[in-house]
């Protein structure tokens, strides 16, 4: 094995950490991902920075917290000035390319203000989150009475499907994400009852195998060193999968929901609002879970099979020997746990993600097949990649920590003692339900290995979970007088995080240290009474100088008049 010169950065969308067999699922066997874990390091405490696609990904791509980059929800543009892993990697001599999803929205107003044309090289990179795009596929082509959610969604994929004979104005919906009955009626995957149907598409033409092939096509023609972000759309909803995966699992394989009646009855007001959202009410019903979760498991099984195809191809072509492989997810899926659906709250169900890193270099031999319970954040990936590329990590911009010391057995922990996750729900119907202002529609999570605290703006009490004694997070201790000291301690950590310097991105720590010394040698003399009170060399330009006395000349002129 040689030193990694390339990086294959694989991300699945809405993949729960505990729905892989290497993370303990009882019925869903994922041998190919499990094998990657045996070849590398499996992290058991990897946390995202926001429980929603767009802002979570922006943190991963920038290496910065949501509070820093500002793209706090889907559709909120990433500021034109934010650097991404592509910028950092190219500066280190490594290309950075996209195959799949980013859920990034370009800052069109900012680009126009700076005169950046989207079809220019720099403009295209700014508009695509710093990636050079091989193919972007955000995998979403919904359509409603007010138009399309994303006019460019599944753009190239729909072209592919039409070329393959799937006749429709939107084959992404009609074939890849819907079933069909005997009369040819489309059974839309948007309706959860249809999750039990087989998607009306040949398995090889469905989204996951398609993106696998596109990833291999990129790698085949890539000139290194390169980072390829192979970003899969599934197992994100619509929850429907083609044969043979649609009936591999049934209700008997559906885990019991992690929830309790007391949890619902005593829920914090903000948490209760999320529980009572339509998706929460739907996934609280057994018939919904029994229809959806087998399909979700089938989607994951298909993902794992495609990993087998991809990894074998990498081995056959010799690329496994010099390519780091990183496999993770942008967030989880509640699937009815804690009386919720979707992902937009802070339980581990959503905020903890799988993270497996295989490093082919000999330095990583000692850690192969190990697990690591260090507190890891997804913002750690960007500095890790820069480290692999041989660049210098810009610590004043990148807020994470390189994981190479852990991968190479030099460290067992990251430098942090807590993780942070944020959620901005100010633009969602939940804010209306709570009567929250735009300013108050935000929440923060701070967690260490033993405790998790959730702060909700708007004058609410905190939420507190004892992760050691209540790992399923069923009992909220936020109003417990016996835990007041612990609540204060967790708030101290949150406040320490908010006080960090995150916006001074134009000067590094090294530059600031130099500035401390340089300013005293550039002629600014403050608080010095006598020239002998400071080193004479600093005032050399202010001593021994001769000029005409204009004041005396001016007085003579006045007398002469």
User: Which pLDDT value is given to residue 559?
Assistant: 67
- SS3 at position 258: coil
Tell me how far apart the alpha carbons of residues 152 and 138 are, in angstroms, rounded to a whole number.
8
Given 3-state DSSP classes, what are the helix, strand and coil percentages for the chain, each rounded to the nearest 5?
40, 15, 45
Instruction: Give the tens place of pLDDT for each residue, 242-257.
Output: 999 999 999 999 999 9
pTM over 0.75: yes
The dihedrals phi and psi of 384, each to the nearest 5 degrees, come to -60, -45
User: Which pLDDT value is given to residue 306?
Assistant: 98
- SS3 at position 323: strand
User: Which pLDDT value is given to residue 308?
Assistant: 98
Instruction: Give the tens place of pLDDT for each residue, 360-370.
Output: 999 999 999 99
Tell me how far apart the alpha carbons of residues 158 and 174 are, in angstroms, rounded to a whole number.
11
The dihedrals phi and psi of 453, each to the nearest 5 degrees, come to -120, 135
Tell me how far apart the alpha carbons of residues 443 and 436 are, in angstroms, rounded to a whole number.
12
- Using alpha carbons, select from 83, 139, 52, 57 the residue that is nearest to residue 422: 52
Counting Cα atoms < 13 Å in the Cβ hemisphere of 388 gives 36
Regions in the chain scoring below 50 on pLDDT? 1
- SS3 at position 361: coil
Instruction: Give the tens place of pLDDT for each residue, 494-519.
Output: 999 999 999 999 999 999 998 887 77
User: Which pLDDT value is given to residue 1?
Assistant: 45
């Amino acid at each position: 094995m040689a030193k990694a010169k390339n990086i294959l950065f694989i991300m699945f969308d809405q993949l729960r950490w505990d729905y892989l067999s290497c993370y303990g699922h009882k019925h869903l066997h994922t041998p190919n991902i499990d094998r990657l874990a045996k070849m590398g390091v499996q992290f058991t405490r990897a946390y995202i920075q926001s429980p929603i696609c767009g802002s979570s990904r922006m943190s991963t791509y920038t290496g910065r917290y949501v509070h820093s980059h500002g793209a706090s929800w889907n559709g909120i543009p990433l500021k034109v000035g934010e650097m991404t892993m592509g910028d950092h990697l190219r500066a280190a001599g490594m290309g950075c390319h996209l195959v799949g999803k980013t859920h990034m929205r370009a800052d069109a107003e900012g680009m126009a203000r700076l005169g950046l044309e989207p079809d220019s090289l720099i403009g295209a990179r700014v508009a695509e989150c710093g990636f050079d795009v091989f193919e972007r596929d955000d995998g979403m082509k919904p359509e409603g009475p007010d138009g399309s959610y994303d006019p460019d969604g599944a753009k190239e994929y729909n072209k592919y499907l039409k070329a393959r004979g799937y006749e429709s104005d939107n084959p992404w919906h009609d074939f890849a994400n819907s079933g069909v009955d005997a009369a040819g009626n489309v059974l839309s995957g948007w309706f959860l009852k249809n999750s039990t149907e087989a998607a009306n598409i040949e398995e090889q033409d469905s989204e996951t195998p398609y993106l696998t092939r596109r990833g291999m096509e990129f790698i085949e023609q890539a000139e290194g060193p390169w980072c390829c972000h192979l970003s899969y759309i599934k197992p994100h909803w619509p929850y429907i999968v083609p044969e043979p995966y649609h009936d591999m699992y049934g209700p008997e394989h559906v885990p019991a929901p992690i929830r309790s009646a007391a949890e619902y009855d005593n829920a914090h007001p903000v948490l209760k609002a999320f529980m009572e959202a339509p998706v929460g009410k739907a996934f609280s019903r057994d018939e919904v879970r029994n229809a959806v979760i087998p399909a979700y498991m089938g989607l994951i099984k298909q993902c794992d099979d495609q990993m087998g195809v991809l990894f074998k191809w990498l081995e056959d072509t010799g690329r496994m020997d010099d390519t780091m492989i990183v496999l993770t997810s942008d967030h989880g899926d509640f699937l009815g746990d804690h009386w919720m659906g979707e992902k937009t709250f802070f339980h581990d169900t959503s905020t903890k993600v799988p993270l497996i890193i295989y490093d082919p270099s000999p330095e990583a031999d000692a850690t192969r097949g190990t697990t690591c319970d260090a507190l890891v954040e997804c913002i750690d990936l960007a500095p890790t990649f820069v480290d692999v590329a041989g660049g210098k990590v810009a610590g004043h911009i990148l807020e994470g920590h390189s994981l190479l010391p852990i991968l190479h057995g030099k460290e067992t922990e990251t430098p942090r003692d807590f993780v942070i996750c944020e959620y901005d729900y100010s633009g969602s119907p939940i804010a209306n339900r709570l009567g929250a202002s735009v300013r108050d529609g935000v929440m923060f999570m701070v967690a260490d290995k033993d405790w998790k605290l959730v702060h909700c703006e708007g004058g609410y009490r905190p939420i507190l979970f004892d992760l050691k004694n209540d790992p399923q997070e069923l009992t909220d201790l936020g109003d417990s007088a016996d835990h007041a000291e612990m609540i204060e301690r967790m708030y101290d950590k949150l406040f320490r995080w908010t006080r960090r310097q995150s916006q001074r991105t134009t000067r590094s720590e090294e530059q600031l240290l130099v500035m401390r010394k340089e300013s005293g040698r550039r002629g600014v003399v403050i608080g010095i009474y006598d020239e002998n009170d400071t080193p004479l060399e600093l005032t050399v330009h202010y001593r021994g100088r001769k000029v005409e006395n204009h004041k005396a000349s001016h007085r003579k002129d006045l007398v002469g008049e």
